[in-house]
């Protein structure tokens, strides 16, 4: 794409509003900024669009949203009149321009004769997944950038099964978008006209009520909540996002009496003004909640990200210090809790299965094996967990019980097909109440888990490489690792390499090659001779390269030492590539 030619088109064409053209006039003397904004179209990737808000083809704005919506509308139209009648449902979060982008998408779908359902106000992403299934629509869209910084927004597409769009569907829509002659070539209908014609329908409470009703069916121990509810205290923060109403509602309706909101963070705020990053993976996001917890002497802190699909948990350790659990720790606690309680109640199906991603802790596999439950492994991304539910539960003869990923995403039940912060918040609170009824904290429950199954420690490091140059460097690092094929990383010897791009596992010592039966992906996974592992991959949603590490030991200190050693050895090698 000729960046400066595209820039002139936007600057001079009356299709673009005055505010957009004024913004572009402001960068007229900045060729590097023009290049960044216009050197390519914002890519429709694995989940849809995600990018910095602003004017330009490589930015999130109402025009790139319109074009993506037109491509999606064309995709739906090719499925026939029934698909257009079934329609599409749209939700949005608390970010800058989310409600505006949702309305623009609705105008395009209505302009293409597609029945459109739009939520009356912001809603969590997992409720959008549920709404697709509940309303039996052909697709769904949520306007969100999850836990990205405030400058970002996104456009996430769901298939008719309520899961994030499949690779096949993504590619088909990508082709439809690329086939649009230019960004001005979209069909639009006025919002009020669309409502008048009945093609745009506003939804809200009726979906909320059914969603909450379904979540309640996943509760495993209502009796323990009753036993401890008078003294059990929970602090909850939605981190300025969408979770406030539904998380507090489900906790209250299953019997928790003392739910304390973080007042400074309970209302929507696109600036995320009280946190550096609205990410429940980071302890700093819980600073205000922890300060409140010290005053209130609470048992549990729960925080959800802006679109309420990820959940962070803060508990007190044995020294009384509040610490944030990792996604792996929370996931393993939940898996053991769900499987143990179902087994105790005689409700553990013989054909049960659980799912984790390839970069999620191997401790999950150990727990599943203990209960005789099949563990299925998928590529990074919850869309692949959703696909397994469809394949093995909906159309197969197995029963899905739980899925999780290290990045704080969890799901039980099948009525939603994406990681669900409302479901997870309920189960986490109930699990903490279960341990309290036994005279234990959730932290003590974690230590009991380690003593039973072994100590496992994991970590992830992310390196941000912004812009066009950053993308080129990320691709260069992956290419160099494949070309040089390192057999050790400063003393940590490689036993085997899984190259998910080549869809092959290669054993270093024997030369044995095995096919990997997962979709092609730009991921390298190194199995070390001492049983440790690390995995490197570009982020699918941010301009970052990520390195995941995992070790196990018979003691916490042993695992900690092994993890530090592995990290240092890998960074010594890959760090040089990042600098070059």
- Residue numbers annotated as active site: 146
How would you classify the pairing of strands 116-119 and 88-92? parallel
CB 368 within 8 A of CB 324: no
Q: Residues near 170 by Cβ (< 8 Å), separated by ≥ 6?
A: 44, 45, 46, 47, 157
Torsion of CA 21, 23, 26, 31, to 10 degrees: -80
Cα(361)–Cα(359) distance, integer angstroms: 7
List C-alpha distances in Å: 405 to 237, 304, 359, 361, 374.
21, 15, 8, 8, 16
Q: Residues near 37 by Cβ (< 8 Å), separated by ≥ 6?
A: 3, 7, 27, 54, 55, 56, 57, 58, 59
Instruction: Give 505-561 as a DSSP string.
Output: EEETTT--EEE--S---S-EEEEETTS-EEEEEE-SSSSEEEEEEEEEESSHHHHHH
**3-state SS class at 495:** strand
Torsion of CA 395, 398, 399, 402, to 10 degrees: -100
CB 90 within 8 A of CB 123: no
Cα(60)–Cα(269) distance, integer angstroms: 19
CB 494 within 8 A of CB 526: yes
Cα(442)–Cα(316) distance, integer angstroms: 8
Cα(112)–Cα(20) distance, integer angstroms: 25
Q: Which of 138, 191, 181, 186 is nearest to 161 (CA)?
A: 138
Helices 363-370 and 442-453 meet at what angle, rounded to 10?
Answer: 80
If you compute the radius of gyration of the chain from its CA atoms, what whole number of angstroms results? 24
Q: Which of 474, 477, 481, 459 is nearest to 543 (CA)?
A: 474
Cα(572)–Cα(252) distance, integer angstroms: 50
Tokens coding 108:
């395009």
CB 121 within 8 A of CB 204: yes
């Amino acid at each position: 794409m000729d960046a400066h030619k595209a820039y002139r088109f936007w600057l001079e064409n009356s299709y673009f509003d005055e505010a957009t053209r004024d913004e572009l006039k402001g960068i007229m003397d900045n060729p590097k900024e023009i290049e960044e904004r216009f050197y390519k179209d914002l890519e429709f990737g694995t989940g849809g669009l995600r990018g910095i808000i602003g004017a330009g083809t490589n930015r999130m704005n109402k025009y790139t949203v319109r074009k993506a919506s037109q491509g999606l509308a064309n995709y739906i139209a090719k499925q026939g009149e029934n698909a257009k009648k079934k329609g599409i449902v749209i939700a949005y979060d608390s970010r800058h321009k989310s409600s505006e982008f949702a309305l623009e998408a609705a105008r395009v779908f209505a302009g293409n004769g597609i029945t459109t359902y739009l939520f009356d106000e912001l809603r969590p992403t997992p409720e959008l997944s549920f709404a697709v299934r509940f309303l039996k629509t052909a697709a769904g869209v949520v306007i969100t950038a999850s836990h990205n910084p405030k400058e970002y927004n996104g456009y996430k597409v769901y298939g008719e099964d309520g899961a994030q769009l499949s690779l096949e569907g993504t590619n088909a829509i990508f082709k439809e978008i690329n086939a649009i002659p230019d960004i001005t070539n979209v069909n639009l209908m006025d919002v009020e006209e669309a409502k008048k014609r009945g093609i745009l329908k506003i939804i809200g409470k009726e979906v909320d009520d059914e969603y909450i009703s379904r979540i309640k069916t996943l509760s495993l121990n209502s009796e323990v909540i009753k036993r401890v509810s008078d003294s059990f205290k929970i602090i909850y923060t939605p981190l300025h996002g969408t979770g406030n109403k539904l998380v507090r509602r489900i906790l209250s309706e299953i019997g928790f009496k003392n739910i304390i909101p973080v007042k400074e963070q309970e209302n929507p705020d696109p600036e995320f003004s009280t946190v550096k990053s609205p990410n429940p993976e980071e302890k700093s996001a819980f600073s205000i909640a922890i300060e409140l917890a010290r005053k209130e002497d609470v048992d549990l802190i729960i925080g959800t990200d802006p679109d309420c699909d990820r959940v962070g948990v803060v508990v007190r350790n044995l020294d009384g210090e509040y610490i944030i659990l990792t996604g792996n720790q929370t996931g393993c606690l939940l898996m053991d809790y769900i499987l143990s309680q179902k087994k105790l109640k005689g409700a553990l199906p013989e054909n049960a299965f659980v799912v984790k991603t390839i970069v999620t802790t191997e401790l999950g596999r150990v727990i599943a094996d203990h209960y005789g439950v099949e563990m299925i492994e998928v590529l990074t991304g919850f869309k692949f967990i959703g696909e397994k539910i469809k394949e093995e539960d909906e159309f197969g003869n197995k029963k899905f019980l739980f899925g999780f990923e290290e990045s704080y995403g969890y799901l039980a039940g099948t009525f939603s097909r994406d990681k669900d912060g409302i479901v997870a918040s309920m189960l986490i609170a109930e699990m903490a109440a279960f341990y309290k009824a036994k005279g234990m904290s959730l932290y003590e429950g974690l230590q009991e888990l380690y003593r039973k199954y072994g100590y496992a420690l994991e970590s992830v490091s992310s390196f941000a490489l912004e812009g066009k140059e950053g993308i080129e460097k990320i691709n260069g690092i992956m290419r160099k690792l494949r070309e040089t094929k390192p057999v050790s990383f400063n003393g940590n010897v490689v036993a085997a390499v899984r190259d998910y791009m080549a869809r092959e596992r290669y054993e270093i010592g024997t030369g044995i090659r095995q096919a990997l039966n997962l979709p092609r992906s730009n991921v390298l996974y190194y199995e070390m001779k001492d049983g440790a592992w690390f995995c490197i991959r570009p982020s699918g949603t941010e301009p970052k390269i990520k390195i995941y590490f995992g070790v196990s030991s018979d003691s916490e200190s042993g695992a900690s030492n092994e993890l530090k050693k592995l990290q240092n050895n890998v960074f010594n090698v890959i760090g040089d590539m990042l600098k070059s």
